Structure formats: C-alpha cells, structure tokens
Amino acid sequence: MRIDVVTIFPEYLEPLNVSLLGKARARGLLDVRLHDLRSWTHDRHHTVDDTPYGGGPGMVMKPEPWGEALDALLAGDRPEADPVVVVPTPSGRPFTQELAVELAGAPWLVFTPARYEGIDRRVIEEYGARLDVREVSIGDYVLAGGEAPVLVMVEAVARLLPGVLGNAESHRDDSFAPGAMAALLEGPVYTKPPEWRGRAVPEVLVSGHHGRIARWRRDEALRRTTLNRPELIEGCEPEAFDKHDRET
C-alpha cells in the first residue's frame, strides 16, 4: 500500500519508522512518503495560513499550497488507481474499525493533516468533486493538529494489511473485528506464569477445551461490552445473540 502524508510537521510522523510500521516499510509492504506542505509555498516566509473570512479567532490554512501539493502527488510517480484522500477533522465521520478495514483495501491513501482552524473548505470541495475524499474524526475531542490522528489511522489500517502482523489471525478476535465477536470488545487476556501475586489464570483457559474456552471468551466479551460500551450491545440485531448470550 502507498501512503502519502502532506503536513507542515513531517518530523511529527517519525513514529511511522518504528515497530510494526517500521518493519512493514522495511519489508516493502508499506510505502510511506512524507511531504512538507511548505515546499509548495512561494513567499519568503513559506506562509500556509491566513485570517478567516468572516472574522473570528485563529487562522485558516490557505488553499493554494494544498492544491499544488495534491496536484503534484496526482501527477507524480503514483499508483495507477486514484487515492482515497483522508482529511482528519473533528467535524468528520468517526474513524471506526469498519472504516479501517475499508481503507486497508485501498491501494493508495493520501492524508492531509491540518493545523490552526483547518483547511479552506474549497480544497475539500475541489478534490471531493473528482476523488474519494473522506473527512474523518478520531474522536470527540479537539487536538492541535491532524498528525496524531494520521498516526492513529495509519497504524489501524496498516496492521490489517496482509503480511504486516506476524500472525495473520491476530486481529481476528480483536475488539470490533467482524465475525463471531462483531461489535463486541475483546475480553481479558492472560499469559504465563499461571499464578502471579496469588492471582490465578481462569481455570478454563488452561483446560485445553477449545469449546469451553471460546464460550468463556464470548461471555467475557459480552460482560465487558455491557459494562464499558452498552450502546454497542443495544445497536446489535437480536439474532446476533444466542440463548447463552442473553443469560450472560
């Protein structure tokens, strides 16, 4: 997968070289290219922002550098298919595991993390008229810039790419993963030693009985979801639950 990020702080994205993502890049599974938006400015101060029309506090990112940057990416050394352009903004649609799965199917993603009060609206309109442009929020809070949301989204997407996780099954039972645990949070997990500070691992997990273990995991997932995110349970169709689930 090819990922381009246009930002005024390319150094903010350095964690993309670390751990899982760093390995995926080194192995050629992920081709990440960082671009400094200021390289598409033409004044002495490399200005990317200006005062908002209509007044008010804060500054707005000027459309010209973004237009030049996106045009350059679209005209340059690029994948054949057009990119999905992801615009991080608190006013976007929520970023979910479902969206991560969808984006992981795209060959090319372009991220446009903003600063200040965001990007001049005309940029989103201009590219939205000819490309798949998604305005996406990572949560109901406001950060100073879109770089941290890009790190969040790239990591969530990249770990779904074939070959990125050591064990391809690892994300099968994750919270929110499609399948038997759909819409549920993952339950608690344990490793060795079998007893730590007087606390034993639940007996069922060392029983070797796969059916009982699967049932226990689902029960725990249901319990945790009911406690922490009851709205996820309420959003499920009744047939998503078996008789045992309802008793849990």
Q: Which residues are annotated as a binding site for S-adenosyl-L-methionine?
A: 138-143
117 is catalytic: yes
Residue of 33, 78, 159, 215 with catalytic role: 159
Binding-site residue numbers are 138-143
Catalytic residue among 36, 98, 102, 117: 117
CB burial of 98-116 (b: ≥16 within 10 Å; e: otherwise) equals ebbbebbebebbbbbbbbb
Closest by CA to 149, choosing from 122, 112, 182, 177, is: 112
Question: Minimum distance between the CB of residue 248 and ligand SAM, rounded to whole angstroms?
Answer: 34
CA distance linking residue 77 with residue 72, whole number of Å: 9
Q: Which residues pair with 31 in a beta bridge?
A: 2
User: 104 CB contacts (<8 Å, ≥6 apart)?
Assistant: 1, 157, 158, 160, 161
CB-nearer residue toward ligand SAM: 72 or 143: 143
Amino acid at 244: H
Q: How far is the CB of 222 from ligand SAM (least distance, A)?
A: 29
162 is catalytic: no
d(CA 229, CA 227): 6
Is 174 labeled as catalytic in the residue annotation? yes
Nearest distance in Å: CB 65, ligand SAM: 15
Q: Closer to ligand SAM at the Cβ: 77 or 140? A: 140
Pairwise CA distance, residues 146 & 66, whole Å = 14
Selected catalytic residue, list 10, 52, 63, 90: 90
Give the binding site for ligand SAM (CB under 6 A): 88-91, 113-115, 117-118, 137-139, 141-146, 149
Nearer to ligand SAM, 85 or 164 (CB): 85
The residue nearest ligand SAM at its CB is 146
How many Cβ atoms from other residues are within 10 Å of residue 220's Cβ?
19
As measured in angstroms, the least distance from the Cβ of 227 to ligand SAM is 25
Residue 113 is a catalytic residue: no
Catalytic sites, residue numbers: 90, 117, 159, 174
